A and B are shown apart, each in its own frame.
Chain A
Amino acid sequence: MELHDLTITQTKKALLDREISAVELTKLYIERIKSLDEKFNSFVTTTFDKALELAREADNKITQGMNLPLLGMPLAIKDNFCTQEIRTTASSFVLEDFIPTYNSTVAQKLFDAGIVLLGKTNMDAWAHGSSTETSDFGSTKNPWDLTRLPGGSSGGSAAAVASDEVLAAIGSETAGSVRGPASWCGIVGLKPTYGRVSRFGVVAMGSSLDSPGPMTKTVEDAALLLEVLAGKDPKDATTSDHPVKKYSQGLKDKKMMTIGISDEYFENAEKEIGEKVNEAIKLLEKLGHKIKKIKLFNPKYAIDVYTILMRSEVSSNLARYDGIRYGFGRDRFGEEAKRRIMLGTYTLSSGYYDAYYKKAQKVRTLIIEDFKNAFKEVDVIIGPTLPSVAPKIGSTANNPMFGEMADILVEPSSIAGLCGINMPVGFDSQSLPVGMQIIGNQFAEETILNLAYQYEKETQFWREKPKIK
């Protein structure tokens, strides 16, 4: 077994037992990125000097007997999280030279927890997309098949984790941007409840939806990261003071659950995907969990709601990028951003607001109610994460609604602000990863992590690695 195959828990043990130093570990990862990333294009910016500096600090701390939750852990952060003195572009040329003066709360918490930052990962520009193809820095490639998309918008983070360029990475999800690429890249991706993790310092996309979350090899790693990231932030008024649990410790006792299954979610997915997810459900049933058929709204309604609400917010959120105080001018916005600004401006305009934005808000309330009722009967809901496996690069070119269609199965829970996790459930006939999502009620991260962990123990799909050519 190689070092880069290890999880956070295992890597940390190796560091604390002085089997390896943080600097040595960091150098290993740097070498790996240097030799591999030409293939994947996972990174917009690498921060190797900073990483070595942080690794030296970590070694000093270890020598002094200090311990921090993520001490010396080589991680990457999606490029829409502001990082002080480290370029933050959101993969848009508008911010090509933007160097923040401050850290996002997520970055700050990770630095405080002792991470070694290897770099900022590629994404769809402004997180607008589900492929990374809208990145102004070029698309990221899927490590399982370099001719395929990694998914998005957190595609760089997903590819970096899947190819072991980093130990773990941070992504952000508006609707599908963590779970989606995790599914296509065969890793764990946790989208926390809206308001569980601070959005402060995250380049805003859909402010009422954006949720930062961990993208990891294992469930335990996701739990460890969530412990660090979660919590009320005085700088983000939408964060909740709901108590933060010891998620990693909550994994061990096997909780028995009632799992809800809604046919609508399978009807919207390709057959082979549905079969893989059903195998997983059968396994969970065998473990003693109760499976219950429920009826949720057809997820297709969520597409309209999501498209209107998110684009409305986008049109307002991107207004600050006027090139007056920082960054470049608006001529640098790509096609996708311009389309979203135009549509969002339209749906908020007087005379159209009631027909679009207001109606979408009403349907949003119905979707929230729908899930609320479902969670009276079940502990979690399981379905396919995405309707298909990773498509070929170039698929999005003439399909402006590509993302919305691809994310159909993750949009309803995002709109309702619920938590969800993508779990690899094996591979299709082309050897491409398939993912299922476990959706939990608001602030039920402990529950979905617990079930995900039980499943992972049985299957260990995370040990399967792409054969990188």
Chain B
Amino acid sequence: MKNKYIPVIGLEVHVELKTKSKMFCGCDASYFGEEPNSHTCPVCLGLPGALPVPNKKAIEWCLKIGMALNCKIPLVSKFDRKNYFYPDLAKGYQISQYDQPFAENGWIELTLKDEKKKKVRIRRVHMEEDTGKLLHETINGEKVSLIDFNRSGVPLVEIVTEPDFESAEEVKAYLKKLQQIIRYLEVSDADMEKGQMRLEPNISLREFRIQNSEFRIDENLPSYKVEVKNINSFNFVEDAIEFEIKRQSKILDEGKLPTQETRGWNEDRKESVSQRSKEDAMDYRYFPEPDIPPIKWKQEQVDNLKSQMPELPDVKIERYVKDYGVTYYNAEIIAREKKLAEFFEKTIEVCEELKNKKENSLDYKTITNWIINKKIDPEKILPAEFVTEILKATKVEGIDEAELESILKKIIDGNEKVVNDYKSGKENAIMFLVGQAMRELKGKVKADEVKEKLQDLLK
């Protein structure tokens, strides 16, 4: 029987913050493409006697992420040491948070296919530091491992969900939304290729049966879980989850239980490979970081931070739909990126001003359509210029479609050779026809619209 199992998936996501300085020292936190070990100091190199001093901005940003994910912000929090050995870990321990994270018990609402909604619970959001980077190279014929500590101590926020996902699609929707929120908060670029956002799903399968024509799902979570590491793109996560579901289904079909383990995703072979089993699970010997006193917030400080939160995409979408009559579909496109949303809102402001001055203005729908159809780049045009442009373009639409078409058809008929050239692949030939048409139309229609129309007619 197919589909005997329902996947149970939880996610751990690491986001690297783009603060100017590192988490526990004053070193420049940017490391991408920098000279190795040029952004280091006694603290991030773990020299004797060096002490960590927490970066206030990074902690505030961590709280903001927590708030954006509807988490509770405990008024007392602390750092802990996570002890383990690895050559890229300068101090022999990572400063992280164990039992008192900065934010916990939140949720995020996902929009799935057909605008179906799903709430996923956020277990915790905590702050930690990144490690250095190992490079394995051959120098003068000798194989060597080098360590670059530029990344050591860069602030990381870890976001952990409850095991609420049941498909790769849901996971992908979550990751996209999380990335969008992080970018809205302007606390990270969350670029996966650059390692600014890293994810580790843990996957297991829960059985269900049909009994008396009713679904019976095992209430308990599976007794094992498989964590998959080394996934560095949204697409890989889908592949990895699909692979794991198939792999684990097969084991379960054989009446066995998959091993609790950590597996690494091999993108070339499109499969996961066992890295570490439960027996070798590390004992991190967490204990409170004695070098950093517990962090205590006053409620006013938390409220103050909350008041600085930008409007987030969900709220924007709802507002665009409600206040401007934009369709959900369009509102979602506009709110996808903060810059475009802000451009949209400023454009509306410009139009409102024009209306107030009783000058020609635009309606919301026109603005929306133009922004979406013209793929406006808010970096390249100012809202006021944009409005002027639309007004000019819409004003000259004095010439009706039928008339335009007949003029263009006449030009096509009169330039058989050029038309044939165009159709045989010389795409530039169309520009001759555009030129002819523009002369006829005397600037009443813009050249690129004429070109588009001609292309349509020549199809």
Chain A residues with CB under 8 Å of chain B are 80-82, 88, 90, 95, 98, 100-102, 104, 199-204, 206-208, 234-238, 312-313, 315-316, 318-322, 324-326, 345, 348-350, 353, 357
Distance between Cα atoms of A190 and B439 in the complex (Å): 96
A80, A236, A237, A350 pick with most chain B CB within 10 angstroms: A237
Contact B287 A88 (CB under 8 A): no
Query: Nearest residue in B to A95 (C-beta to C-beta)?
Result: B48
Distance between Cα atoms of A208 and B288 in the complex (Å): 10
Query: Nearest residue in A to B49 (C-beta to C-beta)?
Result: A201
Contact A348 B285 (CB under 8 A): yes
**B285 contacts which of A80, A201, A321, A349 (Cβ < 8 Å)?**
A349
Contact B49 A349 (CB under 8 A): no
Residues of A within 8 A of B42 (CB): 100-102, 201
Contact A203 B48 (CB under 8 A): yes
Query: Nearest residue in A to B292 (C-beta to C-beta)?
Result: A237
**B290 contacts which of A102, A203, A313 (Cβ < 8 Å)?**
A313
CB-CB under 8 A for A316 and B51, given A101-B42, A348-B83: no
Query: Nearest residue in A to B46 (C-beta to C-beta)?
Result: A320
Q: B47 interface residue, CB < 8 Å from A? A: yes
Contact B290 A319 (CB under 8 A): no
Q: B93 interface residue, CB < 8 Å from A? A: yes
Knowing that A201-B42, A319-B93, A349-B283 touch, tell me 16 more A-B residue pairs with CB under 8 angstroms. A82-B48, A82-B49, A201-B49, A203-B49, A204-B291, A207-B290, A207-B291, A237-B52, A237-B291, A238-B51, A313-B287, A315-B83, A316-B93, A320-B90, A325-B47, A357-B287
Contact B287 A348 (CB under 8 A): yes
**B147 contacts which of A81, A324, A349 (Cβ < 8 Å)?**
A324
Query: Nearest residue in B to A236 (C-beta to C-beta)?
Result: B51
Q: B124 interface residue, CB < 8 Å from A? A: no
Distance between Cα atoms of A320 and B46 in the complex (Å): 7
Tell me how far the C-beta of A307 lies from the nearest C-beta in chain B, rounded to whole angstroms: 15
Contact B53 A316 (CB under 8 A): no
Query: Nearest residue in A to B92 (C-beta to C-beta)?
Result: A319
Give 14 A-B contacts (CB < 8 Å), ordered by A residue: A80-B49, A101-B42, A102-B47, A203-B48, A236-B51, A236-B53, A237-B51, A237-B293, A238-B51, A238-B293, A313-B290, A320-B90, A324-B147, A348-B285
Tell me how far the C-beta of B401 lies from the nearest C-beta in chain A, rounded to whole angstroms: 70
**B85 contacts which of A82, A319, A325 (Cβ < 8 Å)?**
A319
B81, B90, B285, B291 pick with most chain A CB within 10 angstroms: B285
Q: B87 interface residue, CB < 8 Å from A? A: yes
Contact B287 A326 (CB under 8 A): no
Distance between Cα atoms of A316 and B283 in the complex (Å): 13
Q: B54 interface residue, CB < 8 Å from A? A: yes
Q: B18 interface residue, CB < 8 Å from A? A: no
Contact B47 A100 (CB under 8 A): yes
Contact A325 B90 (CB under 8 A): yes
Q: B273 interface residue, CB < 8 Å from A? A: no
Residues of B within 8 A of A90 (CB): 48
CB-CB under 8 A for A345 and B285, given A237-B293, A316-B92, A322-B85: yes
Q: B45 interface residue, CB < 8 Å from A? A: yes
Question: B286-340: which have CB < 8 Å to A?
Answer: 286-287, 290-293
Query: Nearest residue in B to A206 (C-beta to C-beta)?
Result: B290
Q: B14 interface residue, CB < 8 Å from A? A: no
Tell me how far the C-beta of B45 lies from the nearest C-beta in chain A, rounded to whole angstroms: 6
Contact A325 B92 (CB under 8 A): no
Q: B384 interface residue, CB < 8 Å from A? A: no
**A316 contacts which of B47, B287, B292 (Cβ < 8 Å)?**
B287
Question: B8-46: which have CB < 8 Å to A?
Answer: 42, 45-46
Q: B50 interface residue, CB < 8 Å from A? A: yes
Distance between Cα atoms of A238 and B293 in the complex (Å): 6
CB-CB under 8 A for A202 and B49, given A319-B85, A345-B285, A357-B287: yes
Tell me how far the C-beta of B268 lies from the nearest C-beta in chain A, rounded to whole angstroms: 31
Q: B91 interface residue, CB < 8 Å from A? A: yes
Contact B292 A325 (CB under 8 A): no
Contact B47 A101 (CB under 8 A): yes
Distance between Cα atoms of A326 and B40 in the complex (Å): 15
Query: Nearest residue in B to A313 (C-beta to C-beta)?
Result: B290
A200, A236, A313 pick with most chain B CB within 10 angstroms: A200
Query: Nearest residue in A to B84 (C-beta to C-beta)?
Result: A319
**B81 contacts which of A100, A104, A316 (Cβ < 8 Å)?**
A316
C-beta contact mask, B84-120 vs A, less than 8 Å → 1, else 0?
A: 0101001111000000000000000000000000000
**A353 contacts which of B87, B287, B290 (Cβ < 8 Å)?**
B287
Distance between Cα atoms of A260 and B287 in the complex (Å): 35
Distance between Cα atoms of A451 and B42 in the complex (Å): 40
Residues of A within 8 A of B292 (CB): 237-238
CB-CB under 8 A for A238 and B283, given A199-B51, A200-B51, A325-B45: no
Residues of B within 8 A of A357 (CB): 287
Distance between Cα atoms of A81 and B50 in the complex (Å): 11
Distance between Cα atoms of A238 and B78 in the complex (Å): 13
Distance between Cα atoms of A207 and B45 in the complex (Å): 18
Distance between Cα atoms of A74 and B208 in the complex (Å): 80
Residues of A within 8 A of B52 (CB): 237
Which 7 A-B residue pairs are closest in the complex by CB-CB distance?
A: A319-B92, A348-B285, A207-B290, A208-B290, A201-B49, A320-B46, A203-B48
Tell me how far the C-beta of B128 lies from the nearest C-beta in chain A, rounded to whole angstroms: 16
A95, A101, A325, A353 pick with most chain B CB within 10 angstroms: A325
Residues of A within 8 A of B290 (CB): 206-208, 238, 313
Residues of B within 8 A of A319 (CB): 83, 85, 91-93
Query: Nearest residue in A to B24 (C-beta to C-beta)?
Result: A237
Contact A237 B48 (CB under 8 A): no
Residues of B within 8 A of A88 (CB): 48
Residues of A within 8 A of B46 (CB): 320, 325
Tell me how far the C-beta of A290 lies from the nearest C-beta in chain B, rounded to whole angstroms: 36
Residues of A within 8 A of B287 (CB): 312-313, 316, 348, 353, 357
Residues of A within 8 A of B291 (CB): 204, 207, 236-238
B51, B85, B283, B286 pick with most chain A CB within 10 angstroms: B51
Residues of A within 8 A of B49 (CB): 80-82, 100, 104, 199-204
Contact B53 A234 (CB under 8 A): yes
Contact B51 A235 (CB under 8 A): yes
Residues of B within 8 A of A325 (CB): 45-47, 90, 147
Contact B285 A326 (CB under 8 A): no
Distance between Cα atoms of A199 and B91 in the complex (Å): 17
Distance between Cα atoms of A324 and B134 in the complex (Å): 13
Tell me how far the C-beta of B230 lies from the nearest C-beta in chain A, rounded to whole angstroms: 24
Residues of A within 8 A of B83 (CB): 315-316, 319, 348
Tell me how far the C-beta of B53 lies from the nearest C-beta in chain A, rounded to whole angstroms: 5
Residues of B within 8 A of A199 (CB): 49, 51
CB-CB under 8 A for A235 and B92, given A82-B48, A90-B48, A325-B45: no
Tell me how far the C-beta of B194 lies from the nearest C-beta in chain A, rounded to whole angstroms: 26
Contact B93 A100 (CB under 8 A): no
Distance between Cα atoms of A357 and B81 in the complex (Å): 14
**B48 contacts which of A98, A236, A322, A350 (Cβ < 8 Å)?**
A98
Residues of B within 8 A of A321 (CB): 48
Residues of B within 8 A of A312 (CB): 287
Residues of B within 8 A of A202 (CB): 49
Residues of B within 8 A of A349 (CB): 283, 285
Contact B285 A324 (CB under 8 A): no
Distance between Cα atoms of A104 and B48 in the complex (Å): 10
Distance between Cα atoms of A200 and B53 in the complex (Å): 10
**A200 contacts which of B50, B87, B285 (Cβ < 8 Å)?**
B50
Tell me how far the C-beta of B283 lies from the nearest C-beta in chain A, rounded to whole angstroms: 5
Tell me how far the C-beta of B3 lies from the nearest C-beta in chain A, rounded to whole angstroms: 38
Tell me how far the C-beta of B203 lies from the nearest C-beta in chain A, rounded to whole angstroms: 24
Residues of A within 8 A of B48 (CB): 82, 88, 90, 95, 98, 100, 201, 203-204, 320-321
Tell me how far the C-beta of B263 lies from the nearest C-beta in chain A, rounded to whole angstroms: 23
Tell me how far the C-beta of A166 lies from the nearest C-beta in chain B, rounded to whole angstroms: 22
